[in-house]
Amino acid sequence: MIFRNFTRKAQKVKNTIICIGRQYGSGGREIGEKLAERLGVICYDKLIIGQTAKEAGLSAETVESDEEKPIGLCEVVSGNPFADSALLGATFYSEKQRVFEAESKTILEIAEKGSCVIIGRCASSILRGAGYDVLSVFVYADMDDRAKRIAARNNIGTKQAIRKAEKVDRMRKKYFDFYSDTPWGEPESYDLMISSSRYGIDGTADVIAKAVRDKM
């Protein structure tokens, strides 16, 4: 675990906001849900999608597909990558940017409502940029544990699960690094980094809950 001081002078409201970044397959979402239960607050993950879709004027399916995906990805459809970049790049950028901006607004509105747990979506950078005091957590795990969890969830083999973990993590890193001034998955970006392989799902939630209570 790696801690750093996460008290900010420019505190906008006195809500306790815990933002959880995570490696794919580390159990971060489940840990966030258990943490929210321990603290008696709401865990926002999929709940964010519907409100973001409404704000952006897009379907929930589009938002779910585009969120936490890096800006600037475009598909080659004509065989001419330069032409496709010109034709599709602006569309992709516009749509993904709309999702990010709408999701940012949703996250800020959630933070205004009260203490909560927010999973992913660059929430820590969005909220700190707006002057909120947050506890930023990153959950990681051994690849063996991640692969087992991914394989079981998706009914796939171990090798395919590892490839999926690596692919999703690459996209999350590019997304986070694009919108944040600190790097994804590195100590300088978080107040607490913790291994769910070492502590388990419940144990990790307990450690984070203690960190929150010690701060209050």
Give me the helix-helix angle, 81-113 and 47-56, nearest 10°. 120
Residue 34 to residue 204: CA distance in whole angstroms: 9
Q: What is the predicted pLDDT for the residue at 72? A: 56
- What confidence score (pLDDT) does residue 185 get? 96
Domains in the chain (CATH in brackets) are 2-215 (3.40.50.300)
Q: At what angle do helices 28-39 and 196-215 cross, to 10 degrees?
A: 30
Q: Residues 40-61: what's their mean pLDDT?
A: 90
Average pLDDT over residues 163-181: 93
What confidence tens digit (pLDDT) does each residue in 126-150 have?
999 898 989 999 999 999 999 999 9
Summarised one tens digit per residue, pLDDT across range 23-33 is 999 999 999 99
